[in-house]
Amino acid sequence: MDSQVIVITGASSGIGAALAKQLGAQGQRLVLAARRQAELEKVAGPFGANALAVVTDVCRRGDVEHLRERALEQFGQVDVWVNNAGRGISRKVLELSDADVDEMIAVNLKSALYGMQAIVPYFQQRGRGHLINVSSFLGRIPIVTPRSMYSASKAALNSLTANLRMDLRRDFPNIHVSLVFPGTTATDFSANALGAAPGAGTVAGPAGAQSAGDVAAAIVRLIDSPKPEIYTNPNNSPEFVARYYQDPGAFEANLNRP
């Protein structure tokens, strides 16, 4: 992979931090964004002048626009923008409050929208670029009901991303728009979810959990060879999704069998 300037949100831990480490090891120039300054600078530190840490609240449009400007000021270009920031929730549909819904939409959907609206016009002016939105397998199949609003926000992200790709397809063939679908991943995501029980950690799904490094490696390959969508876990595959959409009732009934 040639040296590129890559912006990553949610870069202080989990998939974002793992992605930064792998790309930094390749000599890529990184612009890393998150709210936690100390953790963010720890990720950026080993890469010296090749990494810029920008404290960013992705729920604020102005912060996301500032992130773009800092990237351009520091490195003169942006080649890849990864909307990775997100947060989970542990509440079923009938337990959701207005505040829960607003939080999930702000962190998982609006933050990515701000990123898209900040960087894609720049890509259009430049004539090329790669936008990557990190979604979730749960945005395609409702197999973990306490993640209800998280799944709904990711489903909305899927739709926005696909519509943007269609908008750009004819006039901007060198702007790539990709969705990444991780399965269950061994990070502190579950522990940080809204409504998580004290001491909650990662719970392996039916196919087991991937490491953050596994997901990051799949995104590295996607940057090198852009595609509209990738599933990072072969056990959570497009074929598995297709079985759900062919007959949701049968799929759900089979899933709920003891």
Phi, psi of 210 (to 5 degrees): -85, 160
What is the reported pLDDT for 252?
87
The DSSP bridge partners found for residue 61 are none
What is the reported pLDDT for 206?
45
What is the reported pLDDT for 225?
98
DSSP state of 146: T
CA distances for 26 relative to 6, 23, 98, 130, 188, angstroms: 12, 5, 44, 18, 26
Full set of structural domains in the chain with CATH: 5-255 (3.40.50.720)
What is the reported pLDDT for 237?
86
Residues 6 or more apart in contact with residue 106 via CB below 8 angstroms: 59
* Max intra-chain CA distance, the chain: 57
pLDDT truncated to tens, each residue of the chain (258 aa)? 679 999 999 999 999 999 999 999 999 999 999 999 999 999 999 999 999 999 999 999 999 999 999 999 999 999 999 999 999 999 999 999 999 999 999 999 999 999 999 999 999 999 999 999 999 999 999 888 999 999 999 999 999 999 999 999 999 999 999 999 998 777 555 555 555 444 444 444 444 678 999 999 999 999 999 999 999 998 888 998 999 999 999 988 887 765
pTM for this entry? 0.91
Taking a C-beta distance cutoff of 8 angstroms, is the pair 165, 228 a contact?
yes
Residue numbers annotated as active site: 150
Q: Which structure tokens are listed for 232? A: 């990072």
